[in-house]
Amino acid sequence: MSNTVSRRAKRNELLSFLFITVLLFPVLSVLAVASYGFSVWFWQIVFGPPTH
């Protein structure tokens, strides 16, 4: 019985790891870069482009 639970636990852990590395981290990275770009764009709309 413990072998089956252990096998299920390993499978769930592997699926969780794959979900995090293949889907979650790339999506969060894209969202972070997009939100930074949006904030810079909005800042320039409100305060104008950078000057020398």
End-to-end distance of the chain based on CA atoms, in angstroms?
71
Both structure tokens of 31: 């969202």
Q: Residue 49 corresponds to which amino acid?
A: P
Give every CB contact of residue 44 below 8 A, 6+ residues apart in sequence. Answer: 50
Alpha carbon distance 14, 50 (integer Å): 48
Verdict on whether the full-model pTM lies above 0.75: no
Q: What is the pLDDT of residue 2?
A: 64
pLDDT in tens, 1-52: 567 779 999 999 999 999 999 999 999 999 999 999 999 999 999 999 888 7
Both structure tokens of 39: 């904030």
